């Protein structure tokens, strides 16, 4: 009865909580790797990106009464697809929007987009540690290639698409950290040191990014540039989402 678009670490815990409350979730993920945790826990899951018409069809076919958008805070396309599909299917929409970094706790540079982040990083000099994900790599790579070029290293998921992007930019292996997080502060510190990084460019993905990712950079005297989240609000915790689904179920 609840269809979950999963794309963050909270997705599995959310689905398990829905199962415990008898809400029969079906989960949608983009990759086979993302599907494995759900399959291992016996939770129905479909694999592959869904555009609006296909999503509407799936929602109707599985009898969903609520759509939960638990995709990444920066997945603006997925958020809009979820909004339009829920409206077209005539069902409720609930968004899980996990808390972000405490903006007052760390002396960082907040910017409104990747272009602004790239310009600011270029102006600072030194090696840039780029931790904004594979989807943005080409944008930064092109911005940093303008003469004089900016030296940068990138950390991203070790997927085929990401490595192809690195190859397209001509990045040598010693400038690529292909690994899957989350990363503890000690590992982040070691990677920054290994890269001789002067600037960290990242996104506001999770509240834990503050102590885990930003604090080690500041401890090394690095400058930190954080791209703000796109506008949008949602419920902050899995328990909040489950409670909202249970409330909606009272009318089914």
Q: List pLDDT tens digits, range 31-77.
A: 888 899 999 999 999 998 889 899 999 999 989 999 999 998 888 88
Domain 109-227, CATH homologous superfamily name and number = NAD(P)-binding Rossmann-like Domain (3.40.50.720)
- The answer to whether domain 2-99+231-249 and domain 109-227 are alike in fold is yes
pLDDT in tens, 195-219: 999 999 999 988 999 999 999 999 9
Three-state DSSP at 185 gives helix
pTM of the model: 0.84
Fold adopted by 2-99+231-249: Rossmann fold (3.40.50)
Burial class (CB in 10 A: 0-12, 13-18, 19+), 211: middle
The three-class DSSP label of residue 88 is: helix
């Amino acid at each position: 009865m609840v269809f979950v678009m999963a794309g963050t670490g909270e997705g599995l815990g959310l689905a398990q909580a829905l199962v415990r409350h008898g809400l029969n979730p079906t989960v949608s993920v983009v990759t086979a790797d993302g599907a494995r945790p759900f399959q291992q826990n016996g939770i129905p899951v479909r694999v592959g990106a869904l555009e609006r018409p296909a999503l509407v069809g799936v929602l109707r076919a599985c009898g969903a009464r609520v759509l939960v958008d638990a995709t990444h805070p920066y997945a603006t396309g997925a958020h809009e697809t979820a909004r339009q599909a829920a409206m077209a299917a005539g069902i409720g929409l609930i968004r899980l929007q996990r808390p972000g970094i405490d903006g007052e706790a760390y002396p960082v540079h907040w910017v409104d987009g990747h272009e602004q982040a790239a310009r600011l990083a270029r102006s600072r000099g030194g090696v840039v540690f780029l931790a904004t994900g594979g989807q943005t790599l080409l944008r930064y790579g092109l911005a940093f290639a303008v003469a004089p070029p900016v030296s940068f290293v990138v950390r991203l998921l070790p997927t085929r698409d990401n490595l192809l992007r690195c190859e397209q930019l001509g990045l040598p292996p010693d400038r690529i950290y292909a690994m899957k997080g989350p990363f503890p502060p000690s590992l982040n510190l070691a990677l920054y040191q290994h890269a001789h990084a002067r600037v960290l460019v990242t996104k506001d993905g999770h509240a834990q990014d503050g102590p885990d990712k930003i604090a080690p950079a500041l401890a090394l005297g690095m400058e930190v540039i954080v791209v703000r989240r796109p506008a949008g609000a949602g419920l902050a915790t899995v328990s909040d989402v489950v409670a909202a689904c249970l409330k909606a179920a009272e009318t089914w």
